[in-house]
Chains A and B, each alone.
Chain A
Amino acid sequence: MTVMQKKSLLFLCKCGANISNFVDLDRIADWASKAGHIDLAESHNLLCSPDGKKFFQETLKQKKPDTVVVAACSPKMHEKTFQELAESVDVNMSYIQMANIREHCAWVTQDKNEATIKSIELINAAAKRSFEAEPLKKMTMAVNTDMVVIGGGIAGIEAALSAAKADRKVYLVEKEISLGGAVIKTEDIAPSMECSPCLLAPRLSAVRNNPNITVITNAEVNEVKGFYGNFTVKIHKKARYVEESCIGCESCFEVCPVDVKSAFHLNMGTEKAVYTLFPGSVPAAAAIHKESCLHFVDNSCNACMEACPFGSINFNQKDEDIEVTAGAIIIATGFAAGDIAGIKNLKYGAIENVYTTSEFERMVCSNGPSKGELKLKNGEKPEKIAVIHCAGSMREDGLPYCSGICCVEAAKVGMLVRKQLPDVQIVNIYQELVFPNPRDFSFYKQQCEAGTHFLKSDNISSVLLSEEKERIRITALGIDPVEVDLVVLSTGLQPSESAKKLAEILNIDLEKDGFFKADHALLHATGASLDGIYIVGCAKGPVNVSDAVVTAHAAIGDALSKLVPGREIELEIMTACIDPDKCGGCKLCITVCPYKAISNNADKHISFVNEVICRGCGTCVAQCPSGAAKAKHFTDNQIYAEIGGLIYA
């Protein structure tokens, strides 16, 4: 039996003179005419020009070749161009093979003879490879265009509002009992010093009034299945023992006999066992601290239930598991204040009147534990206050990095103090100052002019606090000792407590510092390491309010552009697949897949690739001991043929 010799149609591009000046195209044509497996189309001056493309299409239509070799520039430049042209004349894209005779031949040697020989080898390899090609099929998939936003701080709120505006259903999941995140705990936002509650209140009411947004509070995401365009998200919603009919009128607060340390006030004040975070919260409903409420402790009290004018107290409320579907997931889980408990020199928790910046700000908030009044533990007014920059930052036993946004917060302390006590002396002790944009920098200059004294230490890690006759003495390398009445420690930002667990649930990467890793730091900075998952606000690293909102809008913009109702998404074409007849079920492929795209069917003892998740790296193919895994368009046969073609030209 004789097998018909397949023939590859060769196009030679001169690329102006970029190729033809350095490679002898006539000699290649001569070789091609004798090779047997090559059919030569004419060379063209510039195959990617409109005229060249037309020539390419017309020649394909006329000659109906088995395969095509385009000897021209890099496939990274024009492979797609010629594949699409081929598809337009009903030639499958897989049969188009490029030989990179420009970047890899013409341009890397002065010797025309050598460049020509190497070009022939590359063309030969491309032709041999093309004979092993199997047709590729474009695949599309219907998608769910709704979104789940995890985290109800400023970034999550803005993401939800943006998506809802485009008529998408949004499930906004928040672990606290109401929305607002870190921003709602502050008084003013530096450097514009816009009032935080004034900024957030209208956004909260917009969320409340938007029928596209379902707010799920007191809740955590605990399981995610599926993939880009088709996620199923399981949400565990804890009972709050108060029904949604509650309007937050606070009638129950007056009768509740139990005081509980308030987490909202960072444990500096108290709230009742039935509580809201702040008046006007969204949702408005209160919640009950089960572990402190006397009804739950010894069944001795029903005061709130009796006082409620709406019958909203429900001691029998149960936790709920809610399942929703979405095409994209937006992570807006924020940050945690840098932990400084382990840094003994700062005496945090050991000396009175030492606060972190967030505690200090909560204290001076008009809705704070002391109604905004700034006073010492003994009730007196402070005369001198010190702010320690980089408390716990830029050191190996704390946060090893600079958070970049705390200097402006540290500079803000003086401004907040002067608002009520204009004569208090403020000294900021720092090693490095970071005011990375013109607005932050001019804010810093304003604070200098307004009287904040900035003192540079040679080493901020050397700061040591000690008690000195009811005052606090601060020593540090490079400065004279300072005695003050109150110290504010400017802590950095660390990843939120939920980041690690969420990364595991979603199978996405974290940076070394524990913040979520971007798919690409520059080009896709709000994309997580898996498609369809976005990271916004401080979940992706410390950012200020402005940047948190920018990232939220950016992520939603990207998601909206990819998930369009009625439009299917195009899937990666060159994925891996596993031949069920050859698979031995050893699961080695599963261990190497970076995207968990491979699963094992326990009944059939075989593994299979989810081609929606697969990105086509081919690592599983190299790992497969039985040759069952195949990388489309990069099959073993194609690569073996290419190797042979390079050597035996």
Chain B
Amino acid sequence: MPETTSTIIAFVCNWCSYAGADQAGGLRLDYPVNIKLVRVMCSGRVDPQFVMDSFRKGADGVMILGCHPGDCHYRNGNIKAMKRSILLEQMLPTFGIDPKRFRLDWVAAGEAERFKEVVTEMSETIKNIGPLHLKGFVESEVA
């Protein structure tokens, strides 16, 4: 599938990952345009419902990007995001969603290259899995 027809929503924390994405722009690093960022103050702000809502509205992949563990601007919001993500990943198949469509990762403000790498990998993953047609539990893509 062409990149432009798939959509990946990435929830990014204001302090590290959004700044990392800004720096990727500053360095004119090309990365797939289907990555669209939603800025939140902390990855700990990301309610798993945001992820589910993104899938429901048509996202083919969803990411949460936060500060590296130990570097959270709010002490440990990223760790809370990680704990919630573990549970979320286990729930996704129940909704007929391949857990690979979701990815939690860490990108620091200075890691423009890493931002590019992480989102490009995700874009490749989604390209390989193909589009997500949420049709409820019957035609689940998970065996």
Contacts and interface: CB of A to CB of B under 8 A. Distances in A.
Interface of A: 74-77, 100, 102-111, 114-115, 117-118, 121-122, 125, 509, 529, 574, 592, 594-595, 615-619, 621-623, 631, 634, 636, 639-640, 642-644, 646-648
Given A114-B4, A617-B44, A618-B42, A646 B76 contact: no
Interface of B: 4, 7, 9, 14, 18-19, 21-22, 24-26, 28-31, 33, 36-42, 44-50, 53-54, 57-59, 73-77, 80, 84
Shortest 8 CB-CB contacts between residues of A and residues of B: A103-B25, A618-B45, A619-B44, A617-B74, A594-B75, A107-B25, A617-B42, A622-B47
A592 B31 CA distance: 35
B38 A642 contact: yes
20 contacts: A77-B22, A108-B25, A109-B31, A114-B33, A509-B75, A592-B44, A615-B74, A616-B41, A617-B45, A618-B44, A619-B44, A619-B74, A621-B45, A621-B47, A622-B44, A622-B48, A634-B41, A639-B38, A644-B57, A647-B57
B11 to A, nearest CB: 8
A102 B73 CA distance: 25
Contacts, number: 123
A104 B45 contact: no
A56 B23 CA distance: 27
A117 B42 contact: no
Nearest to B13: A617
Given A103-B25, A618-B41, A643-B57, 19 more contacts: A75-B39, A107-B26, A109-B31, A109-B33, A125-B36, A592-B44, A592-B80, A615-B74, A616-B41, A617-B73, A617-B74, A619-B42, A634-B45, A639-B50, A640-B50, A642-B38, A643-B59, A646-B7, A648-B57
Nearest to A621: B45
Contact of B41 (A574, A594, A648): A574
Contacts of B44: 592, 617-619, 622
Contacts of A616: 41
Nearest to A509: B75
Contact of B30 (A108, A622, A623): A108
Contacts of B48: 622
Contacts of A110: 30
Contacts of A643: 9, 38, 50, 53-54, 57, 59
A592 B72 CA distance: 14
Contact of B80 (A108, A619, A646): A619
Contacts of A622: 44-48, 80, 84
Given A594-B74, A643-B57, A104 B37 contact: yes
B26 A118 contact: no
A647 B25 contact: no
Nearest to A102: B25
Contact of B45 (A75, A122, A619, A647): A619
A636 B47 contact: yes
A107 B77 contact: no
A76 B22 contact: yes
A440 B39 CA distance: 48
A104 B74 contact: no
A617 B41 contact: yes
A625 to B, nearest CB: 10
Nearest to B109: A76
Max count, chain B CB within 10 A of own CB: residue among A74, A115, A644: A74
Contacts of B21: 103-104
A106 B18 CA distance: 16
Given A76-B22, A574-B41, A108 B29 contact: yes
Nearest to A122: B36
A544 to B, nearest CB: 28
Contacts of A107: 25-26, 28
A306 to B, nearest CB: 58
Contacts of B54: 643, 647
A636 B50 CA distance: 8
Contact of A647 (B7, B46, B49): B7
A104 B22 CA distance: 7
Contact of A640 (B7, B25, B53): B53
Given A76-B14, A103-B22, A117-B4, A594 B77 contact: yes
Given A529-B75, A640-B53, A118 B80 contact: no
Contacts of A104: 21-22, 25, 37
A619 B44 CA distance: 5
A622 B13 CA distance: 14
A642 B12 CA distance: 13
A103 B48 CA distance: 27
Nearest to B84: A622
Contacts of B19: 76
Given A76-B18, A115-B33, A103 B38 contact: no
Contacts of B42: 617-619
Given A76-B14, A646-B9, A619 B77 contact: yes
Given A108-B30, A631-B45, A617 B77 contact: yes
B123 to A, nearest CB: 12
Nearest to B38: A642
Contacts of B50: 639-640, 643
A631 B24 CA distance: 28
A517 B73 CA distance: 13
A509 B25 CA distance: 35
Contacts of A642: 38
Contacts of A619: 42, 44-45, 74, 77, 80
A148 to B, nearest CB: 24
Max count, chain B CB within 10 A of own CB: residue among A106, A118, A639: A639
Contacts of B29: 108
Contacts of B31: 108-109
